[in-house]
Structure 1
Amino acid sequence: MGFFDKLFKKEVAEPLVNVIDKAKVLVYPMIKSSDWKGMGLARSQPFLDIDGKPELALVFAQDAGDSFQYITEADLLLPGVQENFDQWQHNINTYPYEITLAKSLDNRVITASGEDHSAEKVLSAAFLAEACAALNTDRLVISIPRRRCLMITSYYEDFQSLENFFRLHFLAWQEEDYGNEQISEMVFLADKNKIEYAVPLGFRINLYERDGQFKLVYSTMDDLFQENDQIDFQKIMEKNKIPVSIYNSGTSSGN
């Protein structure tokens, strides 16, 4: 579990009565499942649709100390709130982060986890460009399974490296002890400028121990393995990728 030591808990509340100055407290985007209970109240923008149905959306949070409050359509009619809201892209672009190379994974995976809006750094073009530079690649595979969790590797990694990456992705998704709200079981593909696709992988990886030996087990209905007992993960990602809708809704990931 040491790999995820930076995943600290923070209680995330549903939209509440406005008790903060929404014209002054900084606004940050949050990626939420479309079935989040507050979606009908909060101001939202589409992030991903699958088969014409909303899957993920952006809502806009303000820190109220021990919880978050969310911008509503009614809030935007209050003096100064729209102007404050319009700064959300700048706020996530300048949100502090620290890229860490995972030595245990041969420095081929980076994390930037542990902060309230770590996962949403993927909305910043400058951050994606820095991640590409750190991994010496022009295409990224991104894992944001839970709040405060962000893990990235290069799209071009070999079978063993990507298998380790996906194993850690599913571990974070499944392990409720982390305490942070789930975001998505999918991974995402990006270049140095923006997220381009979401990818439902079509399989899960579990790690089991028996007689002191650990074994990876795949859960899937598909025949994944090739004759060399490896998986062409790039082929799976290309087959299953779905364009994100965020950039068709007037949202920008500019610097």
Structure 2
Amino acid sequence: MPSENGAEVVIAYGIDTPDNFVFLTKKHLETMDAKQITQEAFQNLENYDIGLEFVASLDNKAVGANGNDFSSEAILSKTHMMKAHQMLDADELLVSIPRRTCMTIISRDVDEETMNTFAYLHNYTWDDDSFGNAPITNSLFIVKEGSIVGHIPL
């Protein structure tokens, strides 16, 4: 569902407490420094080991980080995306983050069979709510030089 400003994907900040994960609200920002929170959040993401590894089901032509709490959020980390560029020896990446804890990445110029399998796996995961992880987007992100430069709606 789109946010108040019409964006379909938004960045939310949260605190992982011993009892649960609490998303920050406008009320929190009355007593917190938004710039400091943003800086800390991105630094935490940079330091988080997402376990990026080759994906055997895509003939090792993809890398992924699946099952970790912040796997999908790693798309916001230039360090993690640059590692994917290096692992895949690719200038341009397509990144699938259909649900929380899911991220799979391929080179944008991969062969057609791998591209079709990648798209199928994205759609399958988007439709599969059996693990209860929240949906993020039914789009693929385009990443160049470690940063998101566009997206492709599916």
1:94-132 CA-to-partner distances (Å, cap 9, x unmatched) read 112111112232210111121111101011111111000
Structure 2 residue corresponding to 1:124, chosen from 72, 77, 81: 77
Shift of 1:196: 0.8
Contact 1:172 1:178 (C-alpha < 8 Å) held by counterparts = no
Matched, 1:181 2:134: yes
- Distance verdict in 2 for CA 1:94–1:73, change over 3 Å: same
Contact 1:100 1:111 (C-alpha < 8 Å) held by counterparts = yes
C-alpha distance in 2 between matches for 1:151 and 1:121: 11
Q: Equivalent residues in 2 for 1:129-148 (5 A)?
A: 129-148=82-101
Matched, 1:76 2:29: yes
Which residue of 2 is the match for residue 151 of structure 1? Answer: 104
* 1:57 counterpart SS class: coil
C-alpha distance in 2 between matches for 1:89 and 1:104: 31
- Distance verdict in 2 for CA 1:171–1:137, change over 3 Å: same
Matched, 1:67 2:20: yes
C-alpha distance in 2 between matches for 1:71 and 1:179: 22
C-alpha distance in 2 between matches for 1:97 and 1:54: 26
Contact 2:97 2:140 (C-alpha < 8 Å) held by counterparts = yes
- Kindly provide the amino acid, as one letter, of the partner of residue 193 in structure 1: G
C-alpha distance in 2 between matches for 1:119 and 1:104: 19
Which is richer in strand?
Answer: 1
Contact 2:50 2:70 (C-alpha < 8 Å) held by counterparts = no
* 1:152 counterpart SS class: strand
Which residue of 2 is the match for residue 114 of structure 1? Answer: 67
Structure 1 residue ranges (4+ consecutive) displaced by more than 2 angstroms after TM superposition: 64-67
- Kindly provide the amino acid, as one letter, of the partner of residue 91 in structure 1: N
1:166-216 CA-to-partner distances (Å, cap 9, x unmatched) read 010011001111211111111110012201111113xxxxxxxxxxxxxxx
Which residue of 1 is the match for residue 2 of structure 2? Answer: 34
Aligned CA-pair RMSD? 1.8
C-alpha distance in 2 between matches for 1:114 and 1:155: 24
Shift of 1:153: 0.5
Contact 1:118 1:149 (C-alpha < 8 Å) held by counterparts = yes
Which residue of 2 is the match for residue 91 of structure 1? Answer: 44
* Mean Cα deviation higher: 59-68 or 161-170: 59-68
- Distance verdict in 2 for CA 1:174–1:154, change over 3 Å: same
* 1:97 counterpart SS class: coil
Identity, in percent, stands at 28
C-alpha distance in 1 between matches for 2:56 and 2:9: 32
The number of residues matched between the two structures is: 152
Which is richer in helix?
Answer: 2
* 1:55 counterpart SS class: coil
C-alpha distance in 1 between matches for 2:2 and 2:43: 24
* 2:10 counterpart SS class: strand
What residue ranges of structure 2 are gaps of 5+ in the alignment? none
TM-score (norm 2): 0.90
